[in-house]
Amino acid sequence: MTDPKPTSGQQPPPRGSAADEPSTLPSPDDTPPCPDRSLPPGTPWKTRLQILTGSRSALLFGIAGAVVVAMVAGLLTLTSSSADSDAAQTTQRNLKPFREAVDDLAKAPGLRYKDTSASGTTQNEISVTANGSQFGTASSGRNAPVRDVLRIGGKAFTREHVAPAPGQDPTAGGKTQPSEWAAGMDDGSKLLDKTLARAIAPSGLAAVLTKALTGLEKSPASADGARASSPYGQQPLSVNGTPALGVDTSAGRLLVTKNKPHRVLRLEAHDPRESISAQGEQAPNGETPTAPPTVTTGPLVSGDAEGMEVIPVLADAADKMFDTLVEYAGQLKDATDRGIAFSLDGAGEMNCTSSGCTTTQSFTGVVTSTARKERVTKGEVTATMNANFTIDGKPAGQCTSAQRTFPVRGNTVSGTLKCSDPGAGPLYASVAARVQAQAKADAQTCGCQVRLTYPLRAKTLINARALAEVEAQKLADQAKSERDLAACAKPHSFPSGTQVLLANGATRAIEDIRIGDRVVASEPRTGLTAARPVTNTFTTEDDENFTRLTITTEQGPATVTATDNHPFWLEDDQRWKNAGALRIGDELRTPDGVSVPVTEVRNQQGPQRTHDLTVKGLHTYYVLAGQTPVLVHNSNCPLTGGFKAGVSPDEIADINRGFGGETLLSGSPANTLANASRYNSFWDKSAVVIRDIAGSHMFNNGNKRTAQATVEQLMQRNGVTSGPTSADLRSVIDRVGKGQLHDVSDISAALRGY
């Protein structure tokens, strides 16, 4: 279809919008030149062109050529500009999957990293909790033994992953155990330190990647943006068979799942082959080759690793992660120190009677400079001695001395240790009676004196303990605290209608329990059972994962349903265990201390409104299975917001009363701290405190001052010296009060910005 020809006295109709333009340049037959006003209107443009003189024709061709060239240039400019704009917009849009994945990463209880060194000689698998504790396996070379590693409380430990017993063939397939934990890598190697440095906590990695993605938004958008294939050979991107999207950032190439829900899969160094390939394509086109991307931030900046898989640790895997951390930390009481080597001073002494055997051993030790600098506290070394007794060639038992501390003088330490084994007494008495009888017979035969010789031996080994008992217990408690805090981040509750045992012996539905009501509570380890008041109540609207337990009671089978992560007390194991982890045969506790066995465990899914309580002091209460009460934990959240050094609900209430504010939080100060405990970083937790206390209180200066005083107290108690000044903090709080900042992430970003 062609445009209509103009009638006499009319100009050609204007061209349509860009959307109506032809995709190619029109042919000369359809494109009129500029009108010649010396010819009658309506003269066909070909005729007008033919009657022109040569000079005018040449001029016209020059003008027409310029017009055509200008049109072509204009079309190319418009097309290029539009394409560049679309590409930029596409890149912006395609960053959304990466941001979603990184946001979820920040909330994970832990991460598991699998990385390989840049040379391909080492492979490591390290898990890290939200608090930064780490454990896993590492190797320093293809033929090097695999070692277990553990870092908690700023202290690092290693052990042989497989340590065969003396004389055992490690290749025989028998069960082997790891060696004891030991502190210190005093051989000068930094491989372990570098491995652990790359495995940063979820919130730390999320912060690095968020900053890297923000940097992409501020830089010119690449044409390919977020891509699903590699430019080098255009092979599809995937990680272990999972289709992936990739984007090059200042932290390396970030790979996330192609399909929703998006999650982080891998972070890897930039591939130099792709840069060479891209530069090879740019050069023939006259383009200036782009500089190859480099890693300038994040865990790969050292160049020691070619990449690392990043696996969020969630749900049951998180429970296992924390159980392993608690197990490993509990073993540190026996950890040794490789930086302190002891030698025995002589053979020592061994004395036995019918009451047992005792050995005493003197020793001298040498302390390396690294151990003295990093691990010798207060100028003292803690040591223990292990001794194995044999009497007449027969094993007679063993003993371990109590831990003792000895002063370090220069780089040496010396002392004496002693231990006893009463169990060796009966064997000694038997052997001594035999030896004495034989000696008496020999003396009678020879008519001479016979010297009694008792075949006794003590094989002793003295070890430097990496930790004193108090230090080891502190690390074990930290691991348990991390596990409890992780459980706190997952609300656990009971469905509406679940009956709770009151102090007067009556029962009431959990949704009808109010603050101040008194319930029956127990401390199962001591056997104390007493009435305690409820200090807080919680309601969750969207819990979905439940476990129904069937137990055997005097009245017959009875059931109780809870979220799968609600802790029940196991009377047989003397510990708390989540409902979903209970097994047939586990025994639950009743108020009179009688155990009732679990006969069925059934998992159920489906959204329900649920409820939980906080009980003062004992932090437990009883729910009913049929007519039988069983002991459960209350809200497992430590009411300090999950801060390493927190504030209590009562402290917040006192601050609030002092400033004359209204305690209009999400129910109560305790609820605010419970909400804060669901986040990982200090500033995210502080953002929750500000949101709950100061949010929607534009004119309530008391609540805003409460929020500021609470956060400043938290900063002081946790040793946070960087961050907003008092004036900066008040500015952020004012913006929250005015409704200019709503989300925790936005408030946290504002706090981090100073």
H-state helical runs in 254-402? 272-282, 315-330, 369-374
pLDDT of residue 223: 46
pLDDT of residue 699: 59
For the chain, the 3-state helix, strand and coil shares in percent, each to the nearest 5, are 35, 30, 35
C-alpha triplet 44, 45, 46: angle, nearest 5°? 95
Count CA atoms closer than 13 A to 402's CA, side-chain side.
Answer: 2
Lowest mean pLDDT among 99-113, 211-225, 376-390, 536-550: 211-225
Asked whether residue 501 carries a pLDDT value surpassing 70, the answer given is yes
Is 358:419 a contact under the CB 8 Å cutoff? Answer: yes
Is 503:610 a contact under the CB 8 Å cutoff? Answer: no
- The CATH class of 110-166+176-313 is mainly beta
Report the percentage of the chain scoring pLDDT > 70. 74
pLDDT of residue 77: 35
pLDDT of residue 91: 42
Task: Give the model confidence (pLDDT) of 647-692 as tens digits.
Answer: 877 678 778 777 765 544 434 576 677 667 767 688 988 998 998 8
What is the domain partition of the chain in residue ranges? 110-166+176-313, 337-465, 490-633, 649-752
pLDDT of residue 249: 92
Lowest mean pLDDT among 223-232, 390-399, 583-592: 223-232
Q: Measuring CA to CA, which residue among 35, 65, 30, 68 is closest to residue 52? A: 35
Asked whether residue 228 carries a pLDDT value surpassing 90, the answer given is no
pLDDT of residue 610: 93
Q: Are strands 336-337 and 182-183 parallel, antiparallel or unpaired?
A: parallel
CATH fold for the domain made of 649-752: Four Helix Bundle (Hemerythrin (Met), subunit A) (1.20.120)
Average pLDDT for 449-465: 87
pLDDT band (50, 70, 90) for residue 559: very high
Distance CA 658, CA 689 (A): 18
C-alpha triplet 372, 373, 377: angle, nearest 5°? 70
Q: Which tops the pLDDT comparison, 47 or 694?
A: 694
Distance CA 561, CA 601 (A): 10
pLDDT of residue 281: 56
CATH fold for the domain made of 490-633: Endonuclease - Pi-scei; Chain A, domain 1 (2.170.16)
Task: Give the model confidence (pLDDT) of 236-249 as tens digits.
Answer: 789 999 999 999 99
pLDDT of residue 89: 42
**Which secondary-structure segment (H or E) carries 546?**
strand 528-553
Average pLDDT for 734-748: 86
Task: Give the model confidence (pLDDT) of 269-310 as tens digits.
Answer: 887 665 555 555 555 666 665 666 789 999 998 877 788 999
pLDDT band (50, 70, 90) for residue 141: low
Asked whether residue 90 carries a pLDDT value surpassing 50, the answer given is no
pLDDT band (50, 70, 90) for residue 486: confident
Task: Give the model confidence (pLDDT) of 20-31 as tens digits.
Answer: 333 333 343 443
Asked whether residue 451 carries a pLDDT value surpassing 90, the answer given is no
Report CA-CA distances (Å) from 329 to 92, 148, 652, 659.
45, 13, 33, 44
Environment class of 287 (CB within 10 Å of its CB; exposed 0-12, middle 13-18, buried 19+): exposed
